[in-house]
Amino acid sequence: MRYTLVNTINRSLDDVINKFKDPEGVKHWMEGLQKIEHISGTPGKKGAKSNFYFVHKKKEMKISETILEENLPDQIKFGYTSSMGYNEVEMQFEKIEDKVVKQTTATSK
């Protein structure tokens, strides 16, 4: 399934990127996330691999993530593999004003 989601965030670009990079913060927007296990590479950089473990509808699930591109604060692209298949997600961050950021998330596969 392909989709594009656009959010407006009323924070500075630096604040948004710092929160985005914080591994503890991801638990607040990834429903059911139990833990993240770093597998290889430098965390947050191109080539890094991690496993995300979830409980969703009382079922355990693992999603493997690979960072495909990393050009923060502007853009980052991930590849996700799970028992349901493969998906790529690109996130873009655009400063609109001093404390307004447009964040766009789009799938490509």
Q: Report the largest interatomic distance among the alpha carbons of the chain, rounded to a whole angstrom.
A: 42
Would you identify the CATH topology of the domain 4-107?
Alpha-D-Glucose-1,6-Bisphosphate; Chain A, domain 4 (3.30.530)
- Nearest-CA neighbor of 16 among 77, 106, 92, 90? 92
Q: Where are the domains of the chain?
A: 4-107
Global pTM?
0.90
Residue 28 has a pLDDT of 77
Place of tokens 């502007």: 74
**The pair of three-digit structure tokens given for residue 51, joined into one six-digit string:** 């496993």
Residue 106 has a pLDDT of 96
Residues of the chain with pLDDT under 70: 109
Query: Over the stretch 72-93, which tens digit does the pLDDT of each residue have?
Result: 999 999 999 999 899 999 999 9
